[in-house]
Amino acid sequence: MNQITELDKLESTKSLQSTISKLENALSQMTQNGANTTLVKKRLKAVYIGLAMLEHVWNQRPHHYTQEDLAEARNVITGLFPSIENSYTKSKAGSPQRTLLERRIKALELAVQAIDDLSTK
């Protein structure tokens, strides 16, 4: 985890913040429409935890999450990869969408790595 450049840290942080914003917007819309929000809430919590773990590892920010929270977040984040990778495969090379997906994949991979590192301590 020490070999991450400042640019990668910045891009990963921004990517997870963007993902959180998208999930919050989706949650708001789904709540207004009376749709089931369980999955979005789980994903939102997991991405919040992922971002908190990166900030903990990189900036020594404290966190209040339990090992159970970390394990659940890891499972939820890992479950996001197939759909993100599928979208990545369908995106055009060099497109802004592909760049966004590349950064999101990297950010989520780093979040899983940070969770794994903290879970073994």
Residue 101 is encoded by which pair of tokens? 């997906």
Q: What is the pLDDT of residue 111?
A: 97
- Rounded alpha-carbon distances, angstroms, from residue 53 to 3, 5, 75, 119: 16, 17, 15, 11
Give the whole-angstrom CA distance, residue 54 versus residue 37: 26
Show me where the domains of the chain are located: 6-119
Instruction: Give the C-alpha separation, 50 to 13, whole Å.
Output: 10
CA distance 107 to 30: 26
pLDDT tens digits in sequence order for the chain, 121 residues long? 668 899 999 999 999 999 999 999 999 999 999 999 999 999 999 999 999 999 999 999 999 999 999 999 999 999 999 999 999 999 999 999 999 999 999 999 999 999 999 877 6
